[in-house]
Amino acid sequence: MISGETISLGIADDQQLIRMGLRVLAESEDDLRLSWEAEDGRQAVRLARADPPDVILMDIRMPGLDGIEALRQIVAAPETAGTRVVMLTTFESDENVFAALRAGAAGFLVKETEPNDLLRAIRLAAVGESLLSPSVTRRVIETLQGGARTRRVHPLLSSLTEREREVLALIGEGCNNAEIAERLVVSPATARTHVSRIMVKLGARDRAQLVVIAYQSGLV
């Protein structure tokens, strides 16, 4: 989507109270438009294909088809190629965090996230960025650092310049664009450009997948 346009939003959660809270939050913002609500993964996939929103807030634990499988189907469908999915969970230690990121989640937040941070995540996801709860980011990094690591160098890693590899390593450490700019002594705009080029070269949907690539390729 183009920055400044209204962001269309889908909500998938089996708890009516959660859906209501997210709906009220979305409807309070001038730049958000609620497209649909789903109470399980199958309904979310069906609605997403029929009416692809810019962003979907998806509960990870739902009856029938869970959030991760629904995410995989949405990411794979050509109709929803431009849709970004932010996963929501009650449990920040959920064992499916890493699986969700590998499957193409644009972000991962705990449901206790402050409303302003949730709105920020929606807006970042809509323009191709990503946001993880700090506690979730730490867990992902600790999980990847702990134990034996399966080394899987990305086949297109060699297409990156030396500076782009530096940026990718910093993304893997959990740095945002401002922190990358500070570490490399460049402007934030330059940092954003590097991140965008890396995504294009590696075929990554978003920043969250770059974290996974950085670790699996041994850059962190």
Long-range contacts of 181-188 (CB under 8 A, 24+ apart): none
* 110 lies in some domain: yes
Nearest C-alpha neighbor of 26 from the set 41, 51, 46, 6:
6
How far is CA 49 from each of CA 44, 86, 142, rounded to the nearest angstrom? 9, 17, 35
* 200 lies in some domain: yes
- In whole angstroms, what is the distance from residue 120 CA to residue 109 CA? 11
Orientation of helix 162-172 relative to helix 207-216, angle to 10°:
100
CATH code of the domain covering residue 119: 3.40.50.2300
Q: Render each residue's pLDDT in the chain as its tens digit; 220 residues.
A: 545 589 999 999 999 999 999 999 999 999 999 999 999 999 999 999 999 999 999 999 898 899 999 999 999 999 998 899 998 887 655 566 777 877 888 877 888 888 988 898 898 888 877 666 555 555 665 665 554 455 678 889 999 999 999 999 998 887 888 889 999 999 989 999 999 999 899 988 777 778 778 888 888 7
Domain, as residue range, for 178: 157-216
**Number of domains into which the chain is organized:** 2
Same domain, 66 and 169: no
Same domain, 56 and 123: yes
